Amino acid sequence: MTAVAEDSRSQSHTAILIAAAIGASLNPLNSTMVAVALPALSDEFAASASSVTLTVVTAYLVVTLIAQVPAGSVADRMGYSRALGIGRLLFLVGALAGAVAPALWAVAVARVVMAVGGSLNIPTAMALVRVAVPENRRGRAFGTLGAVLAGAAAIGPAVGAWMSSHFGWRTLFLINVPMIAASYAVQWFGGRDVQPGITRPSSTNGFDWLGSVLIGATLVLLTFATRATSPAAWWLAAAGVAGGLLLVWHERRVRSPVLRLALFVERTFVAGAGVVATQNFAMYSLLLFVTFLFSSSSGPDPQLGLAIIAMTATMAATSPVGGWLADRFGARLVVGAGGLSGMLGVIGLMQLPPSSRALAVGLRLLLVGLGLGLSTGPAQAAALRSVPAMYSGVASATVSMLRYLGAGVGTVVISYAVSDVGDAGARHRIALMAFAAAFALSAGLAAFLPPAEGGAGAPPDQPRFPNTRHASQA
């Protein structure tokens, strides 16, 4: 009977992981898939390329960024299975609305609804892995989830190009329908509510609406500051910093803060989240920068796209391996090795002349992909393991928010690297040095992760901070 019960729990954990992974993959897939359809949208609605990009792409990314932490807090309160269901439902509503949108504004509204749903899906999926998967399999589970997310973002452009060229851009919204249906079906037939027995944060104090507004305002101001020109950029940045200070002041005083400042005094959480943020800063920047970096008078090598795919495919393939190694040898060693591998890959790119062919570039990017694959799952698992299970949603959302912030900072570096200011070669070297330094920093942060499961850090599921006002003031 014990064996049957264990087998049933194992099947349930697998079903939950599959359902959560499908739901979470919707966001990165739709963030890259629609990019190839922008010209078609521009033609159909007689809109400029800049306005289409702003309303369809930028708005989606900004809403995804600012909604992460409030969505994680909501998931902690209502339960992760229920939150995942609501997130997928919102995504479905947005997808159907986008497929029949009569005007560009309607497409933009549909994408915003999808972004809100995706903001519930990603942190909830991570929280489900945290509370549903046994501790000795958690690293592999996070590695698998990371592989799915990376793979979804990587195949998005190819899927979008094929679907839009054969069936039109509206099918890019409809393709989400069978994926959502499959996620619901897997969870319905094989999963269960994994949150009974986990104490939820008290909801008697009400939701922190002011904190949510301050998070959104701060992130919006800082995001647009990176895209504006002086002096507007400086004013936006100053307003964003002021908003951040006001947010901290408010969250230290409210009884049920939406952003738990106590997370940032937990060493393992800060280290794991820092690894995710710094490595995503380098990864997303390289995805954009490689085609600018390696080009001759005749233009970039047409095969450079394959070199970029080599990096993302290697990351996706090695993510489960990184989780398995971390389960056996601890996150510290595996994440440290991943950071060093990524750093060596970027240093290798620095040695190549601009006219280098795709094969030489791809070999260096393989090292970068290997480093990302080894590091992402174990870093996330270690960060969430250091947080009480009842706060898994907001902790997952905070990690996800920092991931997007890292990518946003990367776009600032890319904008500088491809600008017309100063010597192009010097700008390119500075950018690559920044990416190599990011990987080196992630390797250094690995020193603060547990050497092995059950090693340094808190015992599994042992709260390190209570749900009190004093904790938020920490």
Q: Where are the domains of the chain?
A: 1-193, 209-253, 261-474
Separation CA 342–CA 345 (nearest Å): 5
Separation CA 459–CA 235 (nearest Å): 45
Dihedral Cα 385, 367, 336, 390, nearest 10 deg: -10
Dihedral Cα 66, 215, 121, 368, nearest 10 deg: 70
Q: What is the pLDDT of residue 13?
A: 66
The DSSP letter of residue 201 is P
Separation CA 322–CA 375 (nearest Å): 7
Please name the residues in contact with 470: beta carbons below 8 A apart, sequence gap of 6 or more. Answer: none
CB distance 136 to 453 below 8 Å = yes
The DSSP letter of residue 278 is H
Check if 1-193 and 261-474 are the same fold.
Answer: yes
Q: What is the pLDDT along the chain (474 residues), one digit of tens a residue?
A: 444 444 445 556 677 778 888 888 888 888 878 877 888 888 888 888 777 877 787 788 788 888 888 888 888 888 888 888 899 999 999 999 999 999 999 999 999 999 999 888 888 888 887 777 777 777 777 777 877 877 787 778 778 888 888 888 899 999 999 999 998 888 777 655 555 444 455 555 567 888 888 888 888 888 778 777 778 888 888 998 998 899 899 888 887 787 888 888 899 999 999 999 999 889 888 877 887 777 655 555 667 777 878 888 888 888 888 888 888 888 999 999 999 999 999 999 999 887 777 888 889 999 999 999 899 888 988 888 888 878 888 888 888 888 888 877 887 888 788 777 777 788 888 989 999 999 999 999 999 998 865 443 444 444 455 444 444 333
DSSP, residue by residue, 286-320: HHHHHHHHSEETTEE-TTHHHHHHHHHHHHHHHHH
Please name the residues in contact with 247: beta carbons below 8 A apart, sequence gap of 6 or more. Answer: 211, 214, 215, 218, 259
Taking phi over 0 as left and psi of -120 to 50 as alpha, with beta for the rest, 256 belongs to beta
Q: Angle CA(276)–CA(282)–CA(287) in degrees, nearest 5?
A: 120
Q: What are phi and psi of 295, to 5 degrees?
A: -150, 145
Indicate the residue type of 293. Answer: L
The yes or no reply on domain 1-193 and CATH 2.40.480.10 is no
Helix and strand numbers, DSSP H then E, in the chain: 18, 2
Q: What is the pLDDT of residue 372?
A: 92
Q: What is the pLDDT of residue 12?
A: 64
- Topology of the domain covering 261-474: Growth Hormone; Chain: A; (1.20.1250)
As to burial, measured by CB atoms within 10 angstroms (0-12 exposed, 13-18 middle, 19+ buried), residue 106 is: middle
Q: What is the pLDDT of residue 10?
A: 55
Q: What is the pLDDT of residue 461?
A: 44
CB distance 365 to 308 below 8 Å = yes
Q: List Cα–Cα distances, 209 to 70, 146, 273, 398, 462, in angstroms.
A: 9, 31, 25, 17, 29
The DSSP letter of residue 459 is P
Separation CA 287–CA 274 (nearest Å): 20
Separation CA 7–CA 19 (nearest Å): 18
Which of 376, 373, 394, 395 is closest to 384 using CA atoms?
395
CB distance 142 to 323 below 8 Å = yes
Global pTM value: 0.78
Q: What is the pLDDT of residue 298?
A: 57
Task: Report the Cα 359 to chain-centroid distance in Å.
Answer: 29
Separation CA 386–CA 264 (nearest Å): 11
- Angle formed by the axes of helices 304-329 and 358-385, nearest 10°: 30
| Structure tokens that stand for 137 in this block | 């399999």
Which of 403, 402, 433 is closest to 417 using CA atoms?
433
Instruction: Map residue 72 onto helix, strand or coil.
Output: helix
CB distance 125 to 23 below 8 Å = yes
Q: Is cis: bond before 231, omega within 30 of 0?
A: yes
CB distance 373 to 316 below 8 Å = yes
Separation CA 251–CA 254 (nearest Å): 5
Separation CA 474–CA 248 (nearest Å): 11
Separation CA 261–CA 391 (nearest Å): 12
Separation CA 386–CA 392 (nearest Å): 10
Separation CA 314–CA 105 (nearest Å): 38
Please name the residues in contact with 421: beta carbons below 8 A apart, sequence gap of 6 or more. Answer: 427
CB distance 156 to 31 below 8 Å = yes
